[in-house]
Structure formats: structure tokens, C-alpha cells
Amino acid sequence: MDERGKWIADRYELVEQAGSGGMATVWRAIQHGAANFARPVGLKRIRQDLAEQPDFVKMFIEEARVSAELLHPNVVQIYDFGFDAGSYFLVMEWVEGLNLGRYLEAYSQQGRHAPWHLLAAIAIECLHALSASHGRVDREGLPAPVFHRDVTPPNILLGLNGITKLSDFGLARAMDRARMTAPHIVKGKLSYLAPELTRDVLPTPQSDIYSLGVVLWQALAGQKLFKGQSNAEVLLAARRRDIPPLCTIRDDLPQALLDIVDCALKRDPAERFASAPDMRQELATLLRSHPEPTNARRLAENMAGTRAQLELTMPSRPPPPMR
């Protein structure tokens, strides 16, 4: 059923469906207020077929609770949470631009690799977001880390303003909700999942670092890391960790970058970076010696050009709105 034009809670007008996942559908919407106030927002609604299943409703509420407490410039911000038309909805910041998957698709269409220094800059901003979530404290000032568990290209949003934001903490689990999710459900996209999480081990900062390592490897290589015709085959490949050295695919990458990606992808979590700030520092040190700029202005110019290229090559399919 086409719900474009429908109003939610008498103030959010649905404009265009931006995406649909296992639990919810995301819409680009307009928030309306007094005196002709209006602004674009992302509105996520729990799927109708799941709206009466208590476990899924609890997970959706938990997403709202956790996400609302993560206040950081590199995390998509939560504006509102409510109930209307038989289901809960979550209202979030709208990021105008591209997700990392679409960004890389534009380069692939041209037979080119995305600039490695810009990818490193994007990873640094993702690590800022992970630092904030891993370092979260509760209202009493006690550690209450949140682990993302779904650091994947669609959840890395590249704004036309040059700012990168990490979205969708829907699979995140705060330490005080560690056993809320249903047993035997593997969370996260399998090809990005840290090996230890396939054995029902609790997530750590190192599990998110591993996922970002997979993202970086694939972005730099221009190809998938773990492949398979089924979830079982992908899971088996990820467990075997058949990781070709990046230097055999590209000979133009600095050794320091190869070492950073290799460290993030270690099988043993104890051998990975000890924290997101540690990995961020290594990337920042590398970029300081690079002659080309990687600031927000340069990233904004690159994003604008990349999106224009996508519009030229796929005129019948405008780039999907960001959530």
C-alpha cells in the first residue's frame, strides 16, 4: 500500500520510502510545526506484521532508548519516539547525501577506486562515532557501553556537507540489555560479523573494529571480502578468514594503511586495536603525511561530484534518500 502523503502523529508527513529492513521501514518525511515550520526528517516505523510481536516491539523500543542517549556529531541523532496508527515510530536526523555503498558503486561504475585518503578520513569519523558509543556512561556516571554490531556500508552516511555519520543502532545492545534478544539469532550482516560473535560471544569494541576493518578492506579492494551463495557459505568463509593481502590487489596503498587494516582484521580480538581511539590515531597519523586535504570541505566536494555522477549514469533511479 502506498502511504506517501500519510501523516503520522499529526505532524510528520511521509514523502518517500527510503528503505526497508528486517524490523522496520524508513521514510523520508517532513516534520511540520507552528508558523509554517518544516524540516526533513527520517521516520522509521516498525513493520505491521511485527507490530504485535512483543520481542520485536521490545527491540524497537530498545533501539530508541539507546540511540537517543548517543549525542555525537558523527552519530545520526534521534528527535522523537511515539506510537500512532497501531505501531511505534522513531524520528531521526535526515542526512542528505549518499551511503558508503552507493558512493563506492559510483566509482565501480567508472572502473576506478575511491581515493584511499578519503576512505581513511571517512573511517576516522566512523571511529569517532564508535568511540562515543563504546565510551557511553549512564546517568550515574557508570560505564554503559553500546556496541553497534552492524557497521556496514549502508549504515555509513556521507553527507553533502562533508560530515560522515554512523546510523542504525538497531542491533546495538547496551550492557544492561545483553540478554534481551532472542536466542539463536545471529545479529548483523554475516560477512561483516567478527568471528567471535558467530559463537555467541558478547560484543566488544574489538568486534566493531573488526567490522570496520572489513568495510575498509572492501572499499579499498573494490570487491567483497567473504563470498558465498548462501548465508552458510558466507559464514564459513568468514570463519576461515581467507583474507587476501590488499597489496596483491593494489600496489598504490601506503604500507601504514595496509598494516592498519590488517590489525583491525586479526582473528584474535586481543590482537586488534585496543580501542576505536587507537585505530583512529593511527589513521590520523597516516593522513598528516598525505599532501591532499581530507577536511569536510574536500569531502563535501567529492560527495557532490559522486552523487552527480550517479544521477548521470542512472537517470531513472535517483539516489535514495539517506536515513
* Enzyme catalytic residues: 150
Here the cell at position 104 is 563506492
36 neighbors 30 (Cβ within 8 angstroms): no
Burial class (CB in 10 A: 0-12, 13-18, 19+), 254: middle
Matching residue, cell 583474507: 243
Burial of 243 (0-12, 13-18, 19+ CB in 10 A): middle
Cell of 175: 550492557
**Residues paired with residue 7 on neighbouring β-strands, in sequence order:** 13
Q: Which residues contact 149 (CB under 8 A, 6 or more apart)?
A: 171, 172, 173, 187, 188, 197, 203, 207, 208, 211
| Cβ pair 74, 90 in contact under 8 A | no
Determine if residue 227 is left, alpha or beta; phi over 0 gives left, psi from -120 to 50 gives alpha, anything else beta. beta
Classify residue 182 by its DSSP letter. Answer: P
